[in-house]
Amino acid sequence: MQDNPDKQQRISILFEKYLRGECTRQEAEEILAVLENAENDPFIKSRAALLWNDFPDIKSDKDYLGSKLNDLHHRRNLIDRQKSSVRFSDKKWLHYTIRAAAILFIPLFIYSLYLTTRISDNNYAEVKSAIWHTLKVPAGVQSEFILPDGSQVWLNSCSVFKYPDSFSGEKRQVELIGEAYFDIIKDPVHPFIINASDLTIEVKGTQFVVVNYPDNPEIEVILESGDVMVSIVDGKGNKTISLTRKGEMAIYESTGNTISVEKVSIDKYTSWKDGILIFRDDPISVVARKLSRKFNVDIELQGIDVEDYVYTATFRYESLTQILELLKRSAPIKYTRTEQKLLKDNSYIKPKIIITAIN
């Protein structure tokens, strides 16, 4: 933003009106337009930090904010999914989306900008009372967000991610169960560390994927750019390997405490963040696990014969039923489906798909 006192004053007024709950729909639209480029605007970043400090009722309740981060990410994904299926000519829907976006995203923008500014000003000073947030992404949902240092993270379905409200000390550390794509801001002085069960992954600025689901037999680290150092930390013996070329994948098998490297097609492991599923000679067990997470269903394979089938396919917009029908055409299988059920305690049992081979 060019130095424009009138415009800067206008933005300051709009921020304050929003935090007091006095914004009109048109003013909310104006704030959202400004925030599209907020991360690159020193004035907006500094103003956000000042506003955060000026509102003690919000600032002091950090536990409440932490508990709401999960809800913000989840509801953002739901809004994005619904919006993509509605024509943009529907003015009523646009008005609803804009108002919802203002309610959900602006506090998170201000909080993120406040954290980024504070960390930059403190130059990674020690903060003994750092608050850790836990972000849980349910089945059928994906989440994208910015870490306090400006690094970007995409979380896949059924993932749990823990991170502090600020990075202090010599290392930037986080924890992951599930699957995530990382775009890490380069900082050679403060390496970025991911604790993923029996592995630690250390980078200084790079793009890569980590797959660490409890029901997966291996932990996988796939490099897209930069370099990654992967180390075993299970206490059975230390071993470290480095990934330096695009498409290199580290595979850790806990049963044998071994780690190996192979070359893979990077698109297969990064396409999920764009809503695309790619299979390349994958066994049906792998297909079933990924479909289960994406569509929030239980998929059970019955019989030894069905486990022999492998698939090569790419799915973008297909529904679960369409995918299952395509799988039937590629191999002699059949499936039955049990719909979602409401129990007496008002909880739900997920839909279940049973796949068997046709003899």
Please tell me whether residues 198 and 315 are part of one structural domain. Answer: no
Contacts of 26 (CB under 8 A, 6+ apart): none
Read off the pLDDT band of 287 (50, 70, 90): very high
Asked if residues 191 and 180 have their Cβ atoms less than 8 Å apart, the reply is: no
For 351, the domain range is 276-357
pLDDT digits (tens, 9 = 90+) for 11-50: 777 776 666 656 676 777 777 777 665 555 656 655 555 5
Counting residues of the chain whose pLDDT is more than 90, the rounded percentage is 46
Q: What is the CATH number of the domain that holds 202?
A: 2.60.120.1440
Q: Which tokens hold the place of 168?
A: 């202090």
In whole angstroms, give the CA distance from residue 134 to residue 74: 13
Question: Mean per-residue pLDDT for 291-306?
Answer: 91
Residue 121, pLDDT score: 46
Residue 14, pLDDT score: 74
In whole angstroms, give the CA distance from residue 202 to residue 256: 23
Domain count, the chain: 3
Please tell me whether residues 226 and 149 are part of one structural domain. Answer: yes
Please tell me whether residues 198 and 266 are part of one structural domain. Answer: yes
Q: For 268, what's the count of Cα atoms within 13 Å in the CB-facing half-sphere?
A: 18
Please tell me whether residues 130 and 266 are part of one structural domain. Answer: yes
Residue 38, pLDDT score: 57
Note the pTM of the prediction, 2 decimals.
0.65
Please tell me whether residues 321 and 242 are part of one structural domain. Answer: no
Element (H, E) at 93: helix 91-122
Q: What is the CATH number of the domain that holds 306?
A: 3.55.50.30
Which of 104-113, 278-287, 300-309 is least confident?
104-113
In whole angstroms, give the CA distance from residue 297 to residue 291: 8
Please tell me whether residues 223 and 286 are part of one structural domain. Answer: no
Please tell me whether residues 180 and 52 are part of one structural domain. Answer: no
Angular region, 197: left φ>0, alpha ψ -120 to 50, beta rest: left
In whole angstroms, give the CA distance from residue 354 to residue 356: 7
Please tell me whether residues 266 and 311 are part of one structural domain. Answer: no
Please tell me whether residues 111 and 132 are part of one structural domain. Answer: no
Please tell me whether residues 60 and 159 are part of one structural domain. Answer: no
Residue 204, pLDDT score: 86
Asked if residues 27 and 17 have their Cβ atoms less than 8 Å apart, the reply is: yes
Q: Count CB atoms within 10 A of the CB of residue 35.
A: 21
Please tell me whether residues 130 and 263 are part of one structural domain. Answer: yes
Please tell me whether residues 265 and 286 are part of one structural domain. Answer: no
Residue 119, pLDDT score: 44
